[in-house]
Structure 1
Amino acid sequence: MGNIMAKILIVDDDAHIRLLLEQTLEDFEDKGVELLSASNGKEAIDTILKEKPDIVFLDIMMPEVNGFDVCSRIKNEYRLMNVFIILLTANGQQSYLKSGSDYGANLYMTKPFDPNYVVKKVSEILGI
């Protein structure tokens, strides 16, 4: 079916989490998926506007611009509705889940994440 040119952006201020997600998703690179990363919210917004990734793994708890703010700006201010945003949080509270969807997040994932689940969801979203 040829190479699909999809892009996945990983946003977390924790380099260890970014690396874990990159390792989890590296098999997708063989299928033509480009992996991008950002270490803070401002960098995330710049990268999303420039690269228009298909999927964004977005940490909530980040200094300066947090994940909710990034999500809200991408969906509400820039109206990039086709960017699939997966919020990452170490906090599984229901109130957080609610606010996540209020900000326009498509999916919610708690850390530590299950690599198999991550791969399965990405496959579904990209249709690979």
Structure 2
Amino acid sequence: MKIVILDDSLTIRMILESFLEDLDVDDSEIYSYENGNEALEFIEQNGADIVFSDINMPKMDGYEFASEVFKIQPSLKKAFFAISGDENRESFMKMKDNGVYRF
């Protein structure tokens, strides 16, 4: 199982990686990125089974990232989780407009 983490915060990426490693899912591989373009390139070349993405990031925000991911691999709509320290309802609604339903 390929798990992709995208967040511009190293701390958040490390916390998520640690949490996922503690779950000890057989045959899981965790790939962590701070840049949406790098994560997209990985998914385009290798696919993914689960994606965790921050919403607010420089260069490419979570909205654009989700939209691009779903063009590459539409099946990820069921396995794409948006994460954010921002509790702004508008952010969540905008992610839903892009096909994300897990927060």
The alignment's TM-score, normalised by the length of structure 2, stands at 0.88
Q: Could you tell me which residue of structure 2 aligns to residue 82 of structure 1?
A: 75
Query: Any idea what the Cα deviations from partners look like across 1:31-54, whole Å, max 9, x if unmatched?
Result: 111111111111111111122111
Measured after TM superposition, the shift of residue 106 of structure 1 is: 3.3
Q: Which residue of 1 aligns with 2:36?
A: 41
CA shift, 1:27, in A, is 3.1
Residue in structure 2 matched with residue 62 of structure 1 by the alignment: 57
Aligned pair count?
Answer: 101
RMSD: 1.4
Which of the pair has more CA radius of gyration?
1
* Aligned position for 2:68: 73
2:52 counterpart SS class: strand
Q: Give the equivalent residue in structure 2 for 1:3.
A: none
Runs ≥4 residues deviating over 6 A: none
Partner of 1:112: none
Q: From 21, 25, 31, give the equivalent of 2:26.
A: 31
Gaps of 5+ in 2: none
Distance 2:33 2:97 in 1: 23
2:75 partner SS? coil
Aligned 8 A contact 1:67 1:87 in 2: yes
Task: Tell me: higher relative CO, structure 1 or 2? Use CA pairs within 8 A at least 6 residues apart.
Answer: 2
- Asked if 1:104 is matched to 2:99, the reply is yes
Q: Is the Cα–Cα contact under 8 Å of residues 11 and 59 in structure 1 kept in the other structure?
A: yes
- On the 8 A contact 2:8/2:57 being kept in 1, the answer is yes
5+ long unaligned stretches in structure 1: 1-5, 109-128
Identity, % of aligned pairs?
31
Aligned equivalent of 2:7, options 12, 35, 41: 12
